Structure 1
Amino acid sequence: MDRCLLLPVIADNLEEIAAGLLSDWRDGANGFARVAMTPGPDNDYFDSHAEVTLSFLKALHTGLQSIADIELKPVLRDPQLAFLPPAGRELRTMRITLAALAEIYLGTEDGRGISDLVEQRGVDPALDPLMRKAFRMTRETADTIALPLPRAVRDKTEREKVEKLLTQITALRQIVERRLARAVDLQIGFNALDGD
């Protein structure tokens, strides 16, 4: 079968999946956003607000670790190990992921983020400005990379930007692990990406 004929079918399927995810997140009493906002004994997913926060904290930590360990480190070793090489969309996907991870911390226009809890607890007053600055700088660095990732790591100037991005993401993940978790009185614990 011609691959060109498959692309519209795949695109339609992805659009349907995305619409379903958005619906599952937003819609009605059973939307996951509502489920996350109403922990307790009648909630099948979360018994407490701490469990909800831990879930988002782990998503933030794991997302940063995935970018570093699955998307950046392999391609820096060997450009042929790029995460999405046929489409050349590694950086676009990474930028979208970074934006989503920033929203977990900062919150969205219609919701709260972990930053609200950091401010509310007041344990580490320097943490929120640091997290905001770290996300801003990391996203700015990602935006400066001008070539597709496999080509960028072969170009001296662009490779330096990719290495800088890896350093920033690693630092941000360490801040999440060491300071953010402590500031919200939670432990991230084991991560499946950590290995055995």
Structure 2
Amino acid sequence: IDEIDAIAPKREEVHGEGARLVRELFQLAREKAPSIVFIDELDAIGAKRLDTSTSGDREVHRTLMQLLAEMDGFDPRGDVKIIGATNRVDILDPALLRPGRFDRLIEIPLPDFEGRLEILRIHTRKMNLRDVDLRRIAEETEGASGADLKAIATEAGMFAIREGREYVTHDDFLKAIRKVRSPVESSISTEPGVMFG
């Protein structure tokens, strides 16, 4: 127990840490202006607020409140621009999407057939392919994101390596598609407001 206490941060050390980091980030951005603050995975700190009482949820809410204050608080942002990215816009807190917080909401849809084909070409250009029909792979991966396609290409290469081959086959890609896409599709909830299924 003593070892765990020594390693684990005390509650007082964590309390308010996210809000403090947001405050310091924007202070630094104002000092270095003109600047851009890019927040990737915005849903991690900007998810819809729920009536929960865990200390972790309260900390995320404090961080979100600080972000909202920095976005349109009393101190003008001046030449500080904010860009946020998420693939879960459905769970963002409505306060983040109010007018004046983000000037534009830009949705980048999943790639179509031609887009998937081009992404596959990019991620396989240094691979030794044998009898691989990338057009068929692009057809098989409808609904896949660019990240999914990269993972599929990487996993196909791993199948070849595991079998001691120096080339990747069409079958490696089919196995990679099953491995990469199956667990994701079954474990992610599409219910609005639910972060994890």
Would you call these one fold, judging by a TM-score over 0.5? no
More helix by share: 1
TM-score, with length taken from structure 1: 0.29
More strand by share: 2
TM-score, with length taken from structure 2: 0.29
**Structure of greater relative contact order (alpha carbons < 8 Å, 6+ residues apart):** 1
